[in-house]
Amino acid sequence: MTSDPAAAAAPRAQYVDPPPVRRMVPRDRDEPHRVATPLELFFDLCFVVAVGQAGRELAHSLAAGHYGEGLRGYALAFFAIWWAWMNFTWFASAYDCDDVPYRITTLVQIAGVLILAAGVPRLFATQDLALAITGYVVMRLAMVTQWLRAAAAEQGEARRVALRYAVGITICQVGWVVVLLLPDAARPVVVPIGVLCELAVPVVAELRMQTAWHPHHIAERYGLFTLIVLGETVAAATVAVQSAVDGHEEPGRLVPVAAGGLLICFAAWWIYFARPVHEHLRSNRQAFAWGYGHYLVFGSAAAIGTGLEVAVESAVHKAEISATAATATVTVPTAVYLFTVWYLHSRHTKRGPVAQSVAPTGAVLVLACTALGGSGVPAAGLVCALMVAVGVLIHGRESRAVREGRGAGAQKA
């Protein structure tokens, strides 16, 4: 109970429902306390369904020794998932008005990714793109609707930016529909061109003016999706171990793989969230490379779980590939993840050559663990744990030196 009679007598503030339809005006780039919304979190969770589907199909392909088909299918499926997710994330950071039309359009995008997820097995098995492209087009045309709403509320160059997005995305979707009408022999040439056209749309649209995306919000959104993908990786590895145990396989074969996989996942989380990165995202000059580079971060993080599934199958002699090849399905994506996170995050916050070299050296050592065959996964896990420990010690020493320097400066003053 309050002891202030005036406060007790004051009327309580009434919550007022916002109108169901609002103008889609840009949000404040410096808005304080900007965080992800429940709709954005729901959006991410639904997208991870498609990520998990792509990962499982990749695991089946790699375990059977179909490396080329598996990697091509995974790269294409993951691009469609990541690109649709990324475009919505940056748009929402600038224009999220959270009214009824915005929510409905976002839910349509979610429906599109679920259609895409349903088409992933066909994409891997028979290179049938029909269902996957249908889901992708649903997602992207819903995005066009969002940009047209933004254009209707904008003026001047901001309006032209929104219209360039709408027109560019529409042209790309027409191109993907045309791909379905072409013979299969033409796809290896046409699909990469379509991917490049998609990647070019934001570059062309924001050539003269950037949208009002929020640096802290963008960094949080990417961090949350990284967490969810790493969680999917742990889940995939857990299911693989459980299936092997349920098949009455000897647990002793699985413990080293499971322990090494957990250490890798823990280290993957640690290095990504070691330092905040939003202060680095000052303009499109930094944001484009950072945002596009996360294709490798997300893709490799999800592929680590895929590799752990294959490593478990290899440990119980159910995979059709060698132990060295099975280990490579874990160590290669882990090395890609470590190096990419260092390049996008860590190198902007580390001081001195020793601190800068920890993650790249760890990536090289993890890759070298491939030569150990069946022992490579637990060895890679130990390398990752050692890398984190060295990084923590260096950071502690740097922090102590900074504190001592400040203390000496205060004494002189």
pLDDT at position 7? 47
Same domain (yes/no): 138, 246 = no
Among candidate residues 181, 213, 245, the one where a domain is terminated = 213
* CA separation for the pair 174, 183 (Å, rounded): 17
Same domain (yes/no): 244, 164 = no
Number of domains in the chain: 2
Q: What 3-state class would DSSP assign to 164?
A: helix
DSSP annotation string for 369-407 = GGGGGGGHHHHHHHHHHHHHHHHHHHHHHHHHHHHHHHH
Q: Which of 238, 296, 295 lies closest to 265, judged by CA?
A: 238
Structure tokens at 204: 């062309």
> CA end-to-end span of the chain, whole Å?
48
Give per-residue burial for 190-208: e unless 16+ CB within 10 Å, then b: ebeebbeebeebbeebbee
pLDDT at position 101? 93
* CA separation for the pair 111, 34 (Å, rounded): 26
* CA separation for the pair 112, 35 (Å, rounded): 25
Domain that holds residue 387: 216-275+284-408
pLDDT at position 87? 92
Same domain (yes/no): 42, 149 = yes
Same domain (yes/no): 333, 398 = yes
Burial label, 212 (beta-carbon count in 10 A; 0-12, 13-18, 19+): middle
Same domain (yes/no): 116, 199 = yes
* CA separation for the pair 172, 141 (Å, rounded): 10
- Whether 338 is covered by a domain: the verdict is yes
Using one digit for the tens of pLDDT, what is the confidence trace for 136-193? 999 999 999 999 999 999 888 999 999 999 999 999 999 999 999 999 889 889 999 9
DSSP 26: P
Element (H, E) at 254: helix 251-272
Same domain (yes/no): 350, 267 = yes
* CA separation for the pair 334, 342 (Å, rounded): 12
Tokens 């961090």 sit on residue: 223
Same domain (yes/no): 48, 93 = yes
Amino acid at residue number 302: A
Same domain (yes/no): 157, 44 = yes
pLDDT at position 276? 78
- Whether 19 is covered by a domain: the verdict is no
- Whether 64 is covered by a domain: the verdict is yes
Structure tokens at 289: 């490379």
Same domain (yes/no): 188, 248 = no
Q: Which of 117, 168, 169 lies closest to 143, judged by CA?
A: 169
- Whether 18 is covered by a domain: the verdict is no
- Whether 55 is covered by a domain: the verdict is yes
Give residue 175's Cα distance to chain centre: 25
Q: Which of 138, 59, 134 lies closest to 106, judged by CA?
A: 138
pLDDT at position 318? 81
- Whether 303 is covered by a domain: the verdict is yes
Same domain (yes/no): 77, 192 = yes
pLDDT at position 109? 94
pLDDT at position 1? 43
The pair phi, psi for residue 30, each rounded to 5°, is -105, 20
Among candidate residues 194, 213, 232, the one where a domain is terminated = 213
Same domain (yes/no): 157, 185 = yes
- Whether 373 is covered by a domain: the verdict is yes
Same domain (yes/no): 225, 354 = yes
Among candidate residues 213, 244, 266, the one where a domain is terminated = 213
Listed as ranges, residues in the chain with pLDDT below 50 are: 1-3, 5-7, 9-10
- Whether 6 is covered by a domain: the verdict is no
Structure tokens at 196: 């490049």
DSSP annotation string for 258-312 = HHHHHHHHHHHHHHHTSS--GGG--SHHHHHHHHHHHHHHHHHHHHHHHHHHHHH
Element (H, E) at 239: helix 215-246
